[in-house]
Amino acid sequence: MKALVTGGTGFLGSHIARGLVRRGHEVRILRRKTSRLDLVADLPVEHAIGDVLDPESLRAAMEGVDWVFHVAAVADYWRNDPDRIYRVNVDGTRNVLEAAEQMGVRRVIFTSSAQAIGWRDDLRPMDETVRFNWDPHLTPYGHSKFLAETEVFRAIRRGLDCVILNPAVILGPDDINQISSSTVVEMARGNVPPTAPPGGATLIDVRDVASAHVAAAERGRTGERYILGSVDLTHKAWLRLTAHILGKSTRLITLPASVVLLAAYVADALRRLGVKLPIEGNQLRLSTRMMFYNCEKSWRELDEPRVPIQQSIREAYEWYRARGDI
């Protein structure tokens, strides 16, 4: 098969491209002229210059393509204004889907997010049946991905073959923009206080997410959502594991949710004053929740995760250190 990967020069996209090449598929990546090529310099792939906001460039990039992996998105929402998040993540997805229809693409694999899944008040792990019910202001990224999924389901009703993947927190080497793995960098630099918020998260290695994408193209069911995750950790356990791998002190105090929520308001106020912080208010608010997901469907129908999360953290640290980032 011939595959196009949007966002193919990024953290997840480059790993998907690499996985496709390993399985013998022809790969083309969509990138901007200004995209950094560090992660794909050694890959035998075609390069198409374009942008998800440029429909003509999308149609040209999809010439002769069987599969489209739509990975490109604004994920670091705390560094971007909401208008850009919605424009790229929603309008860009609509453009990709329309181009895929026009160019006769066989299947689109859409990279959504676990944040597009709703919240359960009873604290049971969320699964694919839970609809988005967050306050959009709390998670504009999650809301944008939910709206993008709405565009995908519309395309499916028009006859386009699509599969939706909802990765949880992705860790591992090559996180070039320091999104999910930023904790490793900040802790190595001594910028993480010996405290932890009371919530938790589902984590997964980037290579396992990439493998699930390839599996979704090969055998995923049309119109299905698949949550991708490997292990559930409280933030305290996650930070202690990271500290242990980095040789830092593992003594941490779990803060009450009330203290974290107060810190969120302070962070909002400082950001309005122009103070740059490594975290923003809504990230702190979300960190008080147990964001755990039931991933059995993807394990059963696609691939079970194989990379231990300890390895993900260690190799992320080694990758940043080799680059001189820490």
Which residues are catalytic, by number? 145
**Non-local CB neighbours of 191 within 8 Å, separated by 6+ positions:** 278
**Non-local CB neighbours of 32 within 8 Å, separated by 6+ positions:** 49, 50, 51
Q: Specify the residue for token string 């440029």.
A: 54
Amino acid at 204: I
Element (H, E) at 195: strand 195-196
- Cα separation of the two ends of the chain: 40
Q: How many residues does the chain have?
A: 326
- Residue 173 tokens read as 């080497």
Edge-to-edge, what's the strand order for the sheet holding 107-111? 46-49, 26-31, 2-6, 67-70, 107-111, 162-167, 225-228
- Residue 123 tokens read as 């604290």
- Residue 39 tokens read as 């992660």
Q: What are phi and psi of 232, to 5 degrees?
A: -100, 125
Q: Report whether 25 contacts 2 (CB < 8 A).
A: yes
